[in-house]
Every structure is written in C-alpha cells, then in structure tokens.
Amino acid sequence: MSTFFSETAWICLAVPAVLGGTVLCKYNRSPGPVWSRAVCLAGLWGGACLLSLSLWWGLILFSLSCVLMYTYLSGQELLPVDQKAVLVTGCDSGIGHALCKYLDELGFTVFAGVLNEKGPGAEELRKSCSSRLLVFQLDITNPAQIKDAHSKVVATLQGRGLWAVVNNAGIIGFPADGELIPMTDYKRCMTVNFFGPVEVTKAFLPLLRKSQGRLVNISSMAGGCPMEKLAAYGSSKAALIMFSSIMRKELSQWGVKVIVILPGGFKTSRSLSSEVLRCSFWKDPEGSL
C-alpha cells in the first residue's frame, strides 16, 4: 500500500510539473496580449486546484487543460527573427514610427526612412531603439535619396536580402471638392502616394527576391471606397492598390509576397479634421447627414 501511495505521489508531482513547465515555457515565448496570457495562467491555476478535488480526475483534467493551452499558445508564437531586416518609409511619425519601434522590440534589423533625419521623430527613434535600427534620410520622391538609401541597406546587410519593404510614406493633400482641388495637389498626391512607392519597390525588389520576402504597401480605405473631399488622395491610393494586385501576381513566381493594407482613421501628423471625416463618411447623395 505504501509503495502504491509512493508511486501515485510521484506521478501526481511529475505530471503537473512536466506539463505545467512545458506550457509555461511556451507561454514565455508567446507574443499575445496581456489578457490572453492572464487567462492562460488562470487556467493553469484552476487546473492545479482540481487536483485537490479528486486525485485521478483532477490529474486528467489538468493534463487536458495543459494540452489545450499548449495548442493555443503554439498558434500565437511568432516566427523566429533570425537577423531578418525590414525597410520602412515614412517613419517620422504615425504608423511608420510605431512600426519601427515594434519591429525593433521583436529583434529585427530596421531601416527607418524619414523625411527629416534631424527632426524630432528621427531623434526619438535613435534614443528609444536599439543599435539594430538605422535612421536615414529618405524622401521617396527624390531618386538620389532612394539610391543612397539602397546603398546603405546593401552595405549593412552584407549579402543578405531584405525580409520586408513597407511602403508607408504618404500625404493626404488638400481636402476639398474634386473640382476645387488644384492640379498641383493631384500631382503631388500621385507623386508621393503612388510614384514614390513604385520607385522604392523597383529599387529594393532584388533584395526582396533574394530572401523571398514580402512587399507591404500601406494604402487607405479611401482608395477602395469613394470619400468626398478626398479625390486626389483616394485616387492615388486606389492606384497603389491596383499596383499591389498586379505585382502580387507577377512576383509570386519568385516567392515574394505582396500585401496591401487599408487602415482606417488614425491620429497622426497628417490626419484630417473630424469635420472632414464626418462629411466624407456620413453624407448621403442628397446631402443630408
């Protein structure tokens, strides 16, 4: 009897230790939000409490909960960074700025292109991020700066390819009725929001092809849904969406993925006023709100 009790005790100690330790190791590598991790820990604690209710049933239920949590956490685990490098344009503020910080935290080598390399956004990136992040001047409408950025990236990578290029830089332009928007503004929006990303893509595609990476183009909901007062901006973003769709087909044979993202409204340095957004989204054809 004592031998049986001894074996049972060892089993009761060993199984929770092995399963719980495995789940906790997986949990530590999981990038999920804090609340999901808290739920996992609560589940582990609840499973452990079940052991006090009934020895074998508690052990079975605890083991089952560990298996389920391990499966869940496996789906949340990120791919290994492995010295992967990402180029992001338009990193002075907004989405590009936040993305650079996040990628740096994950361990990526980040090339942050900014419109003003001495501006507050660039300085903040240098101060808050690791040495893996390189900030450099990159006006995507300036071919010379694109060429210079390409040279810096190639020199830093030393034969490696780029894991991703994120074409994020863009402008909204002058929000007004299409009839009233100056032609200079139409041309400016097309230059920054369409021709710029196209030129950056053409310059860095060989590096993407080398690593079978991905091209990420940040477009806009205005490029897929007509919005009043955004004729210039929406047209340029629609052109970027079509370019992305065509490149996706052409680059698939090289193993290069093409992703186009259509963000909603974000508060950045180039955000529209709430009044313009309200009119763009909610005004019906008859003009009533």
* Positions marked active-site: 233
CA distance 227 to 182: 18
Q: For CA atoms 93, 96, 98, 102, give the dihedral sign.
A: negative
Cα dihedral across residues 173, 174, 178, 182: positive or negative = negative
Distance between CA atoms of residues 53 and 59, nearest Å? 10
